[in-house]
Amino acid sequence: MSITAILLPVYVQVALTFILLLWMGSSRLGSLRAGEVKVKDVALGERNWPSRILQVQNAYHNQFELPVLFYMLVTLAPTSDIEHTVFDLRPLRIPGIRCSDRPFRSRGIGAVRP
């Protein structure tokens, strides 16, 4: 795999993080200007924002949880043999999915009938 193919998902993930940051900031500022929320209600990190702003806030905070492990994997991939063991397992996803639904197909669940 080329270094560009490895780093492209990282660039997309970082762009998503910044988009969520800007979206959260503009939503909060708009809510404060509209008078939906008072500064004293949210000054010390209180979660008194409207529900839509809390959804964006939670999505932004999630970008610092699981993606951190993704960043670590991508950082280690070029310097170790992880690239060959992890990234080359992608073609096995489809056969793995096909084998995992075999118990359901044998019971007639989701079976295609003529």
Q: Is residue 95 part of a domain?
A: no
Residues 6+ positions from 10 with CB-CB distance below 8 Å: 70, 71, 74
- Does residue 19 lie within any of the structural domains? yes
Q: Is residue 96 part of a domain?
A: no
Q: In angstroms, what CA-CA distances link 87 with 17, 22, 80?
A: 23, 32, 12
Q: Who has greater pLDDT, 10 or 60?
A: 60
Which of 12-16, 69-73, 93-97 is the most confident on average? 12-16
In whole angstroms, what is the distance from residue 83 CA to residue 40 CA? Answer: 50
In a domain, 89, yes or no: no
Instruction: Please check whether residue 48 lies inside any domain of the structure.
Output: yes
Share of the chain above pLDDT 90, in %: 25
Q: Is residue 104 part of a domain?
A: no
Q: Does residue 85 lie within any of the structural domains?
A: no
- pLDDT tens, residue by residue, 11-45: 888 888 899 999 999 999 999 999 999 998 888 88
pLDDT at 114: 44
Residue of 78 and 35 predicted with greater confidence: 35
Does 107 fall in a domain? no
Number of domains observed in the structure of the chain: 1
| Rounded to 5°, angle at Cα 15 from 12 and 19 | 135
* Residue 108 pLDDT class (50, 70, 90 cuts): low
What one-letter code names the amino acid at 46? E
Residue range(s) defining the domain that contains residue 51: 3-80
